[in-house]
Amino acid sequence: MVRDDLGFSGILELASPSFYPQQQPSVPSELRYTTWTDSPVNAHFVAFGNLTESSEVAIEAWFYDVTNPSTQAVISKIYRGAATEAQVRKFAHQFADEIIGKLSGGLPSVASTQIAFVSSRTGVKEIWAMDYDGANQHAVTRYGRLR
């Protein structure tokens, strides 16, 4: 999902996953800079992370400038919340927005935005909302009243 959000932004050229190194990092100590900067990947930046789940979900996420191994992570964040698919989607969108914000000099990204629309799929016109990518469609009103 983060990859889709970054690709949609239009400001990045993403390397094909078929070029990714076999060993992909899940924590910073596993990041091997040259496996990402050398051909065929030729990356400038790498985003990665891991997810653990118990009573809540915890997602650790990092974004590194792999052309400069002496620098710290551009983004290093832990997202915590309910262990639901909707919450994980929200965190992925937030991480993508943060990456776009860093690379664009602070310009906002759309990954966390929603679109409102009218639908009569229930037999009566209601206001619905969805994530910018079409996922998470849900009614905002029911029979003309806010939910």
The 10 Å Cβ neighbour count of residue 130 is 15
CB 99 within 8 A of CB 75: yes
Model confidence over 119-131: pLDDT tens digits? 999 889 999 999 9
Which pLDDT band holds residue 144 (cuts at 50, 70, 90)?
low
Taking 90 as the threshold, does the pLDDT of residue 143 lie above it? no
Model confidence over 5-40: pLDDT tens digits? 999 888 899 999 999 999 999 999 999 999 999 999
- CATH 3.40.50.10070 for domain 2-103, yes or no, is yes
The 10 Å Cβ neighbour count of residue 7 is 13
Taking 90 as the threshold, does the pLDDT of residue 4 lie above it? yes
Model confidence over 70-86: pLDDT tens digits? 889 999 999 999 999 98
pLDDT value at residue 76: 97
How many whole angstroms separate alpha carbon 132 and alpha carbon 115? Answer: 6
For the chain, give every domain's residue range.
Answer: 2-103, 114-146
CB 108 within 8 A of CB 21: no
pLDDT value at residue 147: 65
pLDDT value at residue 98: 96
Taking each helix axis from N to C end, the angle separating 2-9 and 85-103, rounded to the nearest 10 degrees, works out to: 40
Residues 6+ positions from 42 with CB-CB distance below 8 Å: 15
